[in-house]
Every structure is written in C-alpha cells, then in structure tokens.
Amino acid sequence: MILRDVTDADLPIFFEHQRDPDALRMAAFSSRERDAFMAHWRTNVLRPENVSRTIVMGGAVVGNIGSWSQEGMRLIGYWIGREHWGKGVATRALAEFLLVEPTRPLHAWVALHNLASIRVLEKCGFRALLEESPEHPDGVAEVLMRLAPTE
C-alpha cells in the first residue's frame, strides 16, 4: 500500500466510490452530483492547508484519506471503495496517514451505526469522546473519536 498525492485522474474514481448506495448508508453521507463533487474536491479538499492522499494497492486506486481543520478541530476522514472493504485497507491507510499528519489531537465524526469505521479508528488509537444525540438535526447519531497527543 502507498499513500500518494491526489491527482486529477483520481477524482473520477473517488466520485464513483461516493455514489455507492451501501457506502453512503454506512457513512450516513449524501452523494454529490459529478460537477458538485469535482468542485468540492478542487476548491475545498485540495487546499494547501489540508492533507489529502490517494490510497493505492497493487497499482490500483482503492480510496482516499485526508485531514482538515473545522470548528477549531483537526478532523480526518477516509473513503474506501466497497470492493476493498474487509481487507484491512482502511486500518493500514489510517496507520500510514498518521505518520504523514503530525497534528494531535485528531478527531473523526463517525455514524454510530458504522461499527467497522469505529473499529478502524480504535485500532489506530482513537477513543470515543462524545456521542451526539439521536435527535441530531440530520437524523444521524454520531460519535466523536479522538486521537490524543502522545506523552
């Protein structure tokens, strides 16, 4: 596995990943239309202050991982193509990414029903910090996971 800088050629693959209905349910996320998706990546995700990487295995793009600042926190997120689920890709990619992104603490919001992603984060040292109310405005109950600074 390698993590490399994102290229324009990766974006159509990421677009297809985020259209998968099972992945959308798991992440409790809404898919974007193609133009909106490309604009979001080019104007928000690929900003110099963010860290964005393409996850490559066996020469194939299998997902992406990145970090950004929002509401006073450094957040991380990742998206793995469904055909690569259950193979340890997310855990390996996150462990590698934590070597690239030195900021601590790091946080991740995860849908409470996304047990696989919660487990990936726990394996990499994240711990549950705060659970949102099931009455969250978008109807999705989430947990805030945190990777604390090492002492």
Average pLDDT over residues 91-100: 97
Q: What is the pTM of this model?
A: 0.90
How many other C-beta atoms are found inside a 10 Å radius of the C-beta of residue 80? 22
Taking only the tens place, the pLDDT of each residue in 12-69 is: 999 999 998 888 777 777 789 999 999 999 999 999 999 999 999 999 999 999 999 9
Cα separation of 128 and 88, whole Å?
21
Cα–Cα distances in Å, from 43 out to 20, 34, 36, 108, 134? 23, 14, 10, 21, 32
